[in-house]
């Protein structure tokens, strides 16, 4: 998950849906295969087996921690975006710097997108990301 300059979640993809290496299922499959195909005359050492179980516990703890952190980042991003409604902002666009007032907010795949009404006109710029905002008045 990528974080924008003021904390917005860029990608709606969470670490639980993205493969970041060895997952819970893969670890269990490897452990079961190891136990199934071990040499009966030389079984797995108890200390090694306990170390593998400890690694599995750590993996599971890290996975749930990452899921909770993803949720907190999404909530923080939403709170930041909500606090901008009605505020005057300067945004960076393809045509340069624009000044306007944030009127509405919508979420697309968990990422907040703002609608900004430009100052002195009725022109609305939709789908403004938090990373495009560089000044809030």
- When pLDDT is cut at 50, 70 and 90, the band that residue 126 belongs to is very high
**Do 70 and 107 reside in the same domain of the chain?**
no
Residue 49 placed within a domain: yes
With contact defined as beta carbons under 8 Å apart, do 89 and 99 qualify? Answer: yes
**Do 99 and 76 reside in the same domain of the chain?**
no
Domain count for the chain, please give it. Answer: 2
Interval 78-102 mean pLDDT: 91
Task: Give the whole-angstrom CA distance, residue 124 versus residue 98.
Answer: 11
Q: Write the DSSP string, 63-112.
A: HHHHHHHHHHHHHHHHHHHHHTTT-EEEEEETTEEEEEEEEEEEEETTEE
**Do 92 and 124 reside in the same domain of the chain?**
yes
CA distances from 137 to 84, 99, 125 (A): 10, 10, 18
Interval 109-123 mean pLDDT: 90
List, for residues 18-57, the tens digit of each pLDDT value: 445 566 777 778 778 877 887 777 776 778 778 877 888 8
Task: Give the whole-angstrom CA distance, residue 67 versus residue 44.
Answer: 33
Residue 71 placed within a domain: yes
**Do 110 and 69 reside in the same domain of the chain?**
no
- In sequence order, which residues have a C-beta less than 8 Å from that of residue 105 and are 6 or more positions away? 81, 82, 84, 85, 112, 113, 114, 115
Task: Give the whole-angstrom CA distance, residue 51 versus residue 21.
Answer: 19
Residue 6 placed within a domain: no
**Do 70 and 109 reside in the same domain of the chain?**
no
Q: pTM score, two decimals?
A: 0.55
Most trustworthy range by pLDDT among 10-14, 56-60, 119-123: 119-123
* pLDDT-wise least confident of 2-11, 34-43, 49-58, 101-110: 2-11
Residue 18 placed within a domain: no
- When pLDDT is cut at 50, 70 and 90, the band that residue 17 belongs to is very low
Residue 92 placed within a domain: yes
Residue 38 placed within a domain: yes
**Do 77 and 101 reside in the same domain of the chain?**
no
Residue 64 placed within a domain: yes
Residue 8 placed within a domain: no
List % helix, strand, coil for the chain (3-state, nearest 5).
40, 30, 35
**Do 53 and 96 reside in the same domain of the chain?**
no
What's the domain range around 94?
Answer: 88-136
């Amino acid at each position: 998950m990528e974080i924008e300059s003021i904390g917005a979640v860029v990608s709606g993809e969470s670490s639980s849906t993205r493969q970041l290496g060895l997952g819970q299922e893969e670890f269990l499959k490897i452990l079961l295969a190891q136990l199934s195909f071990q040499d009966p005359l030389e079984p797995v050492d108890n200390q090694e087996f306990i170390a593998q179980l400890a690694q599995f516990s750590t993996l599971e703890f890290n996975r749930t921690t990452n899921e909770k952190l993803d949720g907190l980042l999404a909530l923080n991003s939403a709170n930041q975006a909500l606090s901008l409604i009605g505020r005057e902002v300067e945004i960076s666009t393809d045509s340069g710097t624009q000044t306007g007032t944030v009127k509405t907010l919508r979420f697309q795949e968990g990422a907040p997108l703002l609608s900004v009404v430009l100052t002195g006109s009725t022109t609305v710029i939709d789908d403004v990301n938090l990373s495009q905002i560089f000044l809030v008045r």
